Amino acid sequence: MYYPSNIESKIDFSVIREELQRRCASPLGREQVDAMRMETDFETVQRLLSLTDQMRLAQADPMLSFPRGDINDVRECVARIRVEGLFLDEAELDDLRHTLAFAVELEQFFAGLDEKKYPLLKELGGLGSLGVLGNLVKEIDRILDRYGRLADNASPELHRIRREIANQQGAVGRALASILRQAKADGFVDADAAPTLREGRLVIPVSPGFKRKIGGIVHDESATGKTVYIEPQQVVDANNHIRELEGAERRERIRILQAVTDQLRPQTEQILASQRMLAQVDFLSAKVSLANTLHAIRPELVNEPMLEWSEARHPVLWLHYTPQGKTVVPLSIRLHADKNHVLVISGANAGGKSVCLKTVALLQYMLQCGLLVPVAEQSRAGLFHQLMIDIGDEQSIQDELSTYSSHLRNMRTFLRQADDHTLVLIDEMGTGTEPLIGGAIAEAILRELVNRHVFGVITTHYTNLKHFAEITPGVVNGAMLYDRGAMKPLFQLSIGQAGSSFAIEIARQIGLGEEIIQYATDLVGEQHIDYDKQLQDIARDKRYWENKRQAIRQKEKVLEERMAQYEEQLKGVKQQKKMILEEAREQAAELLQQSNATIERTIREIKEAKADKEKTKVARAKVEALKEQVGVPQRLKDFKDLKILKNTVPAAPSSTTSIVRQRTLSFSRTLDLRGMRADEALERLIAYMDDAMMVGAGEVTILHGTGTGALKQLTRDYLSSLNHQRRKRGMSTLDFGDGDVNHGGAGLTVIQL
C-alpha cells in the first residue's frame, strides 16, 4: 500500500515509467510497463529482481548471442482467426510469421541455457510449443515470399493463372505498342505518348479530334478534356480475358489464405502463449536497458524491513545529468529496526535534503516494482508493506485546505495506519504554521511514529527536532554538508550530526544589511546563534577528519599491497635459494661419488703397478687434481694416508661461488633511480638490495633526487617494509636516512647494511 495516490509523480517514478515505455519495442511490452506495480510479497519481489538480473546477464554474455527479432501485436489477428470463415491477409500473415519465428528462436535459446545460472529464463521459455509454432512458420513461409506477398508457387493453380496473365499482358502490350507506333506515324497521338492503365485496362492517350481514327472503347478523359483514353478494338478481347484471369487469381488467393488460416485456428492458444512470452521479454529487455544506462544492480534482498543503501544515486538526476557530463553525488543511508530506524536530515536550503528524501523513496519503490537500482554492490535492502510520503505543497482551494492543513491531514493518515513495516518520508516537517507550535506538534508526531517503530526519513530546519534526534534511541541526525568558505552546498549526506541552516551566512552573502543581520541575531539570541555555529564547526571538523581517515585508509591500502608484493617476491627468492642449494647438494653428491670412484681406481692402479715410479707418479697427479677439485683441506703426505672420502660436502659449490664472485666484481655502491617510473624503480631497488646483501656491502647510496618526492617515498617505504620483515624474523634492521647535506642531502638515501 502506498500513500498518497499520486505518489509516482511526487517521487518522479512517472519519469521511470516513461523511460521504460520508450525502451519497449512493442505495445505488448508497453502494456507490461503500465501494469507494473509496487509489490510487498518477498517471494514475488525476489522473483522479479532475479528474472531481470538473469536477463541482464544473458544479454551481456558474448558466448550466448541473445536473439533479436520483431515483436508484433497479433492478438487482434488471433481473435479473427477464431471466427469460422474469416481469414488473414498477406500483411497480417507476414506480421504473424515474423513474430512466431522470433518466439521459436527465443524458446530454443532459453532451452539451451544453464539451468543453475538461468532457472527463471528457462521457465519463461518453457512453452513446449517449438514443434507446433515452427510448423506454422514453415507453412506461412511456403506461401509468402520474402516481401510478404503471396508467392507464385503458393499453389499450382495460382502459378498457372499468374503465368497466363503474364502471357496475355505481354500480348496486349505488344499489340498496343504496334498500334501506338502506327498512330504516331499517322500523327493521331503525340510523339511522347505511352500506354497507360485505366480501370485495370491498358489504353492509349489520344487527342479528342482523332478518337474516331482509332477504333475502340473510350474509357476516360483527362480533367482538361484535351486527352481521351481509348482501348483499341484489337485488344479488347485480350483485356477481357485478363480481367477474367484476375478474378480467378483473387478466388485462388482467398482459397489459399483460408486454408492457411484453417491450420492456424486450432493453435490460437499456443500463439497467445507465445505473445505473453514476447511481452515479458520485451518488458525485461526494457528494464535491462534502463539498468545498463543507470549502472544499476540487484542488491541483496532480505525478508525484513530495512534500508542499507551504499552510494545510492537518484535515477532521474542521473538520466538528466549524465548526457551533460555532470555527476550525481551519491548518498549512503542505513535504517535498521534494532538500531537507528528514523533519520532526521537538516542543513541549508537547496543543499540536497529533498533530493535525499526522494532518492530513498524512488529507489525503494523501484526495487519493489522489480527494477534494478543504482547502488553499490555491498548494498542490502528489505521490503516495506507501506510507503507513505508527505512531499510538496498539497493546498487545495476546492477542499479549502491550506499548506499546513494538508500536511496535518497526511500526518493523521500516517498515525492511523503506519506500523513497523512502514517507510514514512516527510519533507520539511512542521512547516506552514507558526514555528514554535509547528515545531512542537512536529516533535509530538515524530515521537509517536518512533514509538511505533516506523521507519522514516525526515527533513527539517527545526532545532527542537534536531535535539530530539540527538537524545532519542532509534533516531539519528543527518546533515547535508555545506562549504562555509565557498558558501555553496556539497550535496553530501553525513550521518551522526545535525546540520546548520547557515541562515546568517547566506543573508550576509547576498548582501543583506549588517544592521538587519545584527538585529535578527539579537532577537534570536546569541545562544541560538552559537548553537548553529557549533553545528557548523562540528560539520567542518568531521569533514576534515573524514578526509584524513580516507587518506590514511588509502595509504594503508597501498602499503598493504606493497607488503603483499614484497612477501611474494621474498617467497620467490626463498624458493630460488632453496633450488640453488638443492642443485648444489646434488652436484656435490655427484662430485663426491665420482671422487670416491677415482680414488678407488687410483689405489688399485698403484697396487697393480707395484711401485712402478712412472705409473705411481701419474696416479699421484690424479689424486692431487682431485684434491683441488673437491677442496680437500690437508695435503696428503703419502699414499698410505689416502682414504676414500665419506660424508664430505664441499664448503661452497663452484656454481654458487661463481655467482657471488661475478656479482661482487660488477657491484656498484650507488644506485641511480632518477627518471624511472615507479614500478621500474621499485623492481631495480629490490634487485639492488638483494645484490648488496649477497656481496656484503657495508654502505650503499640510493640516488633518487628531490623532484616530486615520489621516488624518495617509494625508496623509504620499501626499506621500512624490509625492516618490518627483518624484525619479524629476529634479524637486525637497516639504518637509513638522507645523505650528507654537502653531497646531495635529501636527494640521496644512505643505507647502512
Q: What is the pLDDT of residues 694-725, one digit of tens each?
A: 777 788 899 988 888 888 888 888 888 888 88
pLDDT of residue 118: 95
Could you read off the pLDDT of 328-381 as tens digits, one per residue?
999 999 999 988 999 999 988 777 899 999 999 999 999 999 999 999 999 999
pTM of the model: 0.65
pLDDT for residue 436 is more than 90: no
| Residue extents of the structural domains in the chain | 300-524, 550-653, 667-752
Write down the architecture of domain 300-524 according to CATH: 3-Layer(aba) Sandwich (3.40)
Q: How many CB atoms lie within 10 A of CB 291?
A: 21
Could you read off the pLDDT of 482-511 as tens digits, one per residue?
776 676 778 889 888 887 766 666 666 677
Average pLDDT, stretch 82-99? 93
Whole-number Cα distances in Å, 516 to 84, 419, 519: 87, 46, 5
Largest CA-CA distance found in the chain, in angstroms, rounded: 153
What CA–CA distance (Å, rounded) separates 600 from 612? 18
Q: How many CB atoms lie within 10 A of CB 447?
A: 13
Average pLDDT, stretch 237-245? 88
DSSP-assigned letters across all residues of 275-293? HHHHHHHHHHHHHHHHHHH
| CATH pick for 667-752 out of 3.30.1370.110, 3.40.50.620, 3.90.1150.10, 3.40.50.150 | 3.30.1370.110
pLDDT of residue 347: 84
Q: Residue 561 contacts by C-beta under 8 Å, 6 or more apart in sequence?
A: none
Phi and psi of 61, rounded to 5°? -80, 115
